[in-house]
Structures are given as C-alpha cells and as structure tokens.
Amino acid sequence: MHKIELEIVALSHSITQSNSYAVVLGEVNGLRRLPIVIGGFEAQAIAVALENMHPSRPLTHDLMKNFMTAFGVQLQEVYICDLQEGIFYSKLVCFTANDTIEIDSRTSDAIALAVRFGCPIYVYSNILEQAGLTSENVDKPIHATPSKRTCKNKRP
C-alpha cells in the first residue's frame, strides 16, 4: 500500500467530544487533512514536544524516548495503518544496529514519540481517502500549533 507523509498542522480542543482534543495532520505538499481525536494527556505530551518545553521531570513519552535511546533503539517512522469503527491504529518502525521491528501503538502515542524523535508520520492512502478532509472543508482551530518536525533519525 502507498504511504503518504503527514505533518502536524493543528492541535486544539475537540468540537465533537467534550474533554478531548483533536490533532490535525496535514498531507505534506497536499491539501488533505486528517483530524484525530485524542485524550488530554496525549495532547499535552504532543504540545510539550512541539513547543520544545522541558518539564522538570520526564513525561511518559520522554521516558520512553530515553529508554529507547539508552538501549540503542531509534524510531525511524510511524504510520497509521488501519481505521476500524472510528479508531485509528498505528505502528512504530524502530531499528537497532541489527534489526528493524514494527510495534503496535495508539496513534496519539505514536505521534507524541514521532515529535520527540523528529521522525516522519505516514498514513496509508486508503485511510486518508476514507477519513481525510480537504483543507477547504476544515475550519482552522483557534489554538493551532504548527509542526516543527525535522527528521533526525535517518537509517545508517
């Protein structure tokens, strides 16, 4: 299946679900957007990394990155691989000196780790066709935070 690269274009309160947030992923060099409803803790974890904030103690996703780095595991990419009953499913593509593995992940956690590692986020084209919106149909959230991703983890 064909994968399409996405970037974070907005992070805001969800207008469809109370006490939830929406992260809007935009097609790189395209007009389609993929809104994903996430929880408050995950939204905070993404926002902290996007704003390059450094809490006094590591958040869960910071701990995960530190753990992975300490054991020589790098996050190469994340991709949204499935959509079932309104729930997005994602994979973390990790590599070490000897191996590449894919790990199942909640999409919100995958995005939070992708921001920390500076790696790309992808989606299968059929999922973007099914759940995506064109940018003309998307109202710009009031509290949008653009992506500041730069890919730091190229495979050697």
Tell me if 13 sits within 8 A of 32, measured CB to CB: no
Letter string b/e over residues 54-90, b meaning 16 or more CB atoms within 10 A of that residue's CB: eeeeebebbebbeebeeeebbbbbbbbbebeeeebbb
- Average pLDDT estimate for 89-114: 97
Q: How confident is the model at residue 137 (pLDDT cuts 50, 70, 90)?
A: low
d(C-alpha 123, C-alpha 136), whole Å: 20
Q: How confident is the model at residue 134 (pLDDT cuts 50, 70, 90)?
A: confident
Q: What is the pLDDT of residue 72?
A: 97
Phi-psi region of 29 (alpha: psi -120 to 50; beta: other; left: phi over 0): left
Q: Residue 144: phi, psi to the nearest 5?
A: -80, 140
- Average pLDDT estimate for 13-42: 90
Q: Which helix (H) or strand (E) holds 23?
A: strand 21-27
Q: What is the pLDDT of residue 15?
A: 76
Q: Where are the domains of the chain?
A: 3-137
* pLDDT at residue 149 is higher than 50: no
pLDDT tens digits, 52-95: 998 999 999 999 999 999 999 999 999 999 999 999 999 999 99
Q: What is the pLDDT of residue 136?
A: 62
* pLDDT at residue 103 is higher than 90: yes
Q: What is the pLDDT of residue 156?
A: 42
Helix axes 107-117, 40-50, angle to 10 degrees: 10
Calculate the CA 134 to chain-centre distance.
19
* Tokens, residue 103: 């790990």
- Name which residue leads in pLDDT, 9 or 156: 9
Count of other CB atoms within 10 angstroms of residue 133: 14
| C-alpha Rg value of the chain to the nearest Å | 15
CATH architecture of the domain 3-137 equals Roll (3.10)
- Average pLDDT estimate for 13-29: 87
- Average pLDDT estimate for 115-137: 91
* pLDDT at residue 34 is higher than 70: yes
Record the pTM.
0.84
d(C-alpha 109, C-alpha 88), whole Å: 12
Q: What is the pLDDT of residue 27?
A: 96
Task: Give residue for tokens 């990419």.
Answer: 77
